[in-house]
Amino acid sequence: MTAHPATATRAVTGGPREDRPDLLEHVMGWVLVVVFAMLVTRLGLL
């Protein structure tokens, strides 16, 4: 078998940027979590 060398470049996957977190995206994520939790409790699923 032959060994494949690891590439030096990283694949861009569209994940969060590493330079600084986006505040609006962070807040909207938590709003989504809270709305989902409210929906689950109102429907009696928990």
Confidence of residue 44 (pLDDT cuts 50, 70, 90): confident
Is residue 31 a part of any domain in this protein? Answer: yes
Q: What is the pTM of this model?
A: 0.51
Distance CA 10, CA 45 (A): 42
Domain tally, the chain: 1
Please give the share of the chain, as a percent, with pLDDT higher than 90: 33
Distance CA 25, CA 16 (A): 10
Distance CA 30, CA 23 (A): 11
Is residue 36 a part of any domain in this protein? Answer: yes
The whole domain housing 27 covers 22-46
In this prediction, residues 9-16 reach a mean pLDDT of 68
